[in-house]
Structure 1
């Protein structure tokens, strides 16, 4: 197949859940098919996107002059686009020069299929073209904004969340109806889209994990230590840490005063740094080149998310390393996990704290959960298996 893969936000380094998922699937697809990778993203120093030419047939990358996330410049940029009918996740990236570059490419090249990776590039996809188009959704974006709205306490942020929720919901309905096939990463997301799409048009592509890279590291565990991994410039992750530190950690400390937490992920906000200056048991690492040593040190991995969509690769990575995981049901949403069998699920501060304390006290329970978790992902969710399913779907769209 000749595949045109269109992605906003870039691909490398693969340091977010969506990038990790796309990167691994693309690498596997490129072994068997001709892939043109077209991406547009915020310009940054030491851009490694040109190295992708080693893997793909063709690479077209457009660094854009975009405002720094959460900066005053981004607030101004958001205000300029506030009255657009499109959500900001589309208007932020889909600039006129990007549209022109994609049209120029399609004037000289033909493809068997166009993959729109996430909803963000939908604003420049040539929907009128006869080329089959597949939207690869990693989340139900409207659900994420709805959950922001539900937990927000700041009136301005609550209003913004409501506005983006409504616009994003409309955009998802519009563009997913135009697509020839919609891919989701979980049954939960499929069911959400099936409220306005023919279910036969939706295919689930599960999340995968590199089970060779993420392996158990015996002997590295530190007693009474917890670990959270994730990009800290993604608002659901930041909310999760605020929630844990303010509502759950004090309950754990009542029984385990020596408990510690490492928060491993890029770009923590000043607001989060300020909160943790007074909480000496929590350490922010910022960006790290390799998260495995941090996962290995943790007695347990926590995922206290209240907001989110899609599936959390952080859980599969921890499970592949044989770690016991405590998560909210939102955090583990869409993953094929079973409470008390290969994960612990808890949705109130009291229950979450009790689950963590139980694991800290019981090394046999940690080992049992971790071993079952490792078996689950090793037997079913390696990236080659996931990419093979992805390839079959594309061929099905083409009628092959």
Structure 2
């Protein structure tokens, strides 16, 4: 079985949501004997020096990439208004990248070509013209939904109108593309339902975030208490928006609960304004070298997302590390978790306050929830079980 995977960023190192999902997919398929080729857009926002990649998984694949600048250009955004294209998507297409991909397709015969996310779909026509492989689209989230929800929360009218415009264009594009594949993978059951509402008529299955549990070693002797933490890429607008809400509306009351309580904020591309919150009780760390070690050292994970779709990889990782996670319903969407059993759901400042108070006054409580969280992700998110099921679909598609 030969598979080509197309990605909108280089999934090495696997240090945030999208790279982790892609990396674990590749690792699991390699373990099952699938020959993997990877074509990645090496985007300016997340540029990786390919020569500095030292990874056993990387050594086992056939890798191709092209550096592309996807930064928002004011004039480009303006003139796009008068076109019929989605600016969010069109920025990922480049003629030179297309030529490299075309050469890969002409020099190799693939059984499966998997598009990881909407932003590599602009290359679909090229792939169709140069390959007879079965084509799979994996929706990491419902892209237009992210922008639609952001627009709904935007108070500045001109910005809200533009966000609404972007979401409409994305929605049209997503709906147009969804039936052009042989198979679609949704990352959660709610996303599967949304895709069905698009009018999806092709085969549709759910493949949640899968993790390699060998990576998530828990050592409670290194976990400090009472500690809260937030971990996430801070250049992703829903993360930024949610954390701002928590710091403004919830943290001032939480901080008064105990002089020993500490709240640690970490993540890539930490925005400058968050350092203004730094105090004796609130520590802004920025990007951490080892996310798993960072999670292991803290007790309670805070995920105050107010928008977004898909499945939060950091929550899955936190559950794998036996963390007690306090999250909004939005953040936990798509994860088969149960409030009060393997997670605590909080959607209002009062609910966050009560949940945090419960955890810091009853230390056994957060440990019990964390233990159950690990059992939940072992049941639903194991890399081996998920990739075996994916390979079975590959085989079914290619024998038809």
Q: TM (normalized to structure 2)?
A: 0.91
1:1-400 mapped onto 2 (5 Å cutoff): 1-31=1-31, 32-43=33-44, 44=47, 46-48=49-51, 54-56=59-61, 58-67=62-71, 74-126=73-125, 128-129=128-129, 130-198=132-200, 201-274=203-276, 276-277=277-278, 280-399=280-399
- Counterpart contact for 1:88–1:164, Cα < 8 Å: yes
Cα offset for 1:50?
6.1
Aligned residues: 392
Distance 1:197 1:23 in 2: 30
Distance 2:317 2:220 in 1: 16
Q: 1:80 to 1:288 in 2, by over 3 A?
A: farther
Residues 280-310 of structure 1 deviation map (CA, whole Å, 9 limit, x = unaligned): 5322222222112321232211111011111
- Counterpart contact for 1:13–1:48, Cα < 8 Å: no
Secondary structure, in 3 states, of the residue corresponding to 2:214? coil
Moved more, 169-178 or 254-263: 254-263
Secondary structure, in 3 states, of the residue corresponding to 1:212? helix
Distance 1:152 1:54 in 2: 45
Residues 101-150 of structure 1 deviation map (CA, whole Å, 9 limit, x = unaligned): 22232233221121111000011123644432110111011111111111
Cα offset for 1:53?
5.1
Distance 1:224 1:260 in 2: 7
Cα offset for 1:49?
7.3
- Counterpart contact for 1:299–1:360, Cα < 8 Å: no
- Counterpart contact for 1:11–1:49, Cα < 8 Å: no
Distance 1:256 1:353 in 2: 13
Distance 2:174 2:269 in 1: 28
- Counterpart contact for 1:300–1:360, Cα < 8 Å: no
Distance 1:53 1:295 in 2: 26
Q: TM (normalized to structure 1)?
A: 0.91
Secondary structure, in 3 states, of the residue corresponding to 1:3? strand
Structure number with higher helix proportion: 2
- Counterpart contact for 2:182–2:202, Cα < 8 Å: no
Cα offset for 1:77?
4.6
Cα offset for 1:200?
6.1
Question: What is the RMSD of the two structures over their aligned residues, measured on CA atoms?
Answer: 2.1
Distance 2:233 2:51 in 1: 19
Residues 132-173 of structure 1 deviation map (CA, whole Å, 9 limit, x = unaligned): 211011101111111111111233331221111111111111
Distance 2:53 2:109 in 1: 22
